[in-house]
Amino acid sequence: MNAKNVVESLKKRFPNEPEYLQAVQEVLESIEDVYNQHPEFEKANLIERLCIPDRIFTFRVSWVDDKGNVQTNMAYRVQHNMAIGPYKGGIRFHSSVNLSILKFLAFEQTFKNALTTLPMGGAKGGSDFSPRGKSNNEVMRFCQAYLLELWRHIGPDTDVPAGDIGVGAREVGYMFGMYRKLAHEFTGTFTGKGLEFGGSLIRPEATGYGNVYFLCSMLATRGIDIKGKKCLVSGSGNVAQYTCEKLIQLGAIPLTLSDSNGYIYDPDGITQEKLEYVKDLKQVQRGRIREYAEKYGCKYVEGARPWGEKADIALPSATQNEINGADAQKLVDNGIIAVAEGANMPSTPEAIAIFQKAKLLYSPGKASNAGGVATSGLEMSQNSERLSWSSEEVDAKLKGIMANIHANCVKYGTEPDGYINYVKGANIAGFMKVAKAMMAQGII
Ligand code: GLU
**What digits encode the pLDDT tens for the residues 427-439?**
999 999 999 999 9
Which ligand 1 atom is nearest residue 105's CA?
4
Ligand 1 near 344 CB (within 6 A): yes
Q: How far is the CA of 294 from the centre of ligand 1 (A)?
A: 32
Instruction: For residues 330 and 378, give the distance between their C-alpha atoms in angstroms, rounded to a whole number.
Output: 39
Q: How far is the CA of 377 from the centre of ligand 1 (A)?
A: 10
Ligand 1 near 210 CB (within 6 A): no
Q: How far is the CA of 51 from the centre of ligand 1 (A)?
A: 19
Q: How far is the CA of 296 from the centre of ligand 1 (A)?
A: 32
- Confidence at residue 1, expressed as pLDDT on a 0 to 100 scale: 65
Ligand 1 near 239 CB (within 6 A): no
Is the distance from CB of 51 to CB of 10 less than 8 angstroms? yes
| Secondary structure of residue 414 in the 3-state scheme | strand
Alpha-carbon Rg for the chain in angstroms: 21
Ligand 1 near 114 CB (within 6 A): no
Q: Which residues contact 224 (CB under 8 A, 6 or more apart)?
A: 337
Ligand 1 near 373 CB (within 6 A): yes
Ligand 1 near 115 CB (within 6 A): no
Q: How far is the CA of 168 from the centre of ligand 1 (A)?
A: 11
- Confidence at residue 2, expressed as pLDDT on a 0 to 100 scale: 77
Q: Tell me the pLDDT tens digit for each residue of 116-152.
A: 999 999 999 999 999 999 999 999 999 999 999 999 9
Ligand 1 near 191 CB (within 6 A): yes
Q: Tell me the pLDDT tens digit for each residue of 22-45.
A: 999 999 999 998 998 999 999 999
- Confidence at residue 123, expressed as pLDDT on a 0 to 100 scale: 99
Pocket test for ligand 1, best of 160, 164, 379 (most atoms within 8 A of CB): 164
Taking CA atoms only, the protein residue closest to ligand 1 atom 9 is 89
CB-neighbour burial class of residue 185 (10 A; exposed 0-12, middle 13-18, buried 19+): exposed
Residues in the chain, pLDDT under 50: none
Which ligand 1 atom is nearest residue 109's CA?
10
Q: How far is the CA of 99 from the centre of ligand 1 (A)?
A: 17
CB-neighbour burial class of residue 417 (10 A; exposed 0-12, middle 13-18, buried 19+): exposed
- Confidence at residue 3, expressed as pLDDT on a 0 to 100 scale: 80
Catalytic annotation on 274? no
Ligand 1 near 341 CB (within 6 A): no
Pocket test for ligand 1, best of 93, 211, 341, 376 (most atoms within 8 A of CB): 376
Nearest of 8, 1, 14, 93 to residue 52 by alpha carbon = 14
103, 112, 124, 424: which is the annotated catalytic residue? Answer: 124
- Entry pTM: 0.98
Q: How far is the CA of 66 from the centre of ligand 1 (A)?
A: 30
| Residue 102 CB neighbours (<10 A) | 30
Ligand 1 near 90 CB (within 6 A): yes
| Residue 8 CB neighbours (<10 A) | 11
Which helix (H) or strand (E) segment holds residue 333: the answer is: helix 325-333
Ligand 1 near 211 CB (within 6 A): no
- Confidence at residue 324, expressed as pLDDT on a 0 to 100 scale: 98
Taking CA atoms only, the protein residue closest to ligand 1 atom 8 is 373
Burial 31-63 (b: 16+ CB within 10 A, else e): beebbeeeeebeebebbebbbbbbebeeeebeb
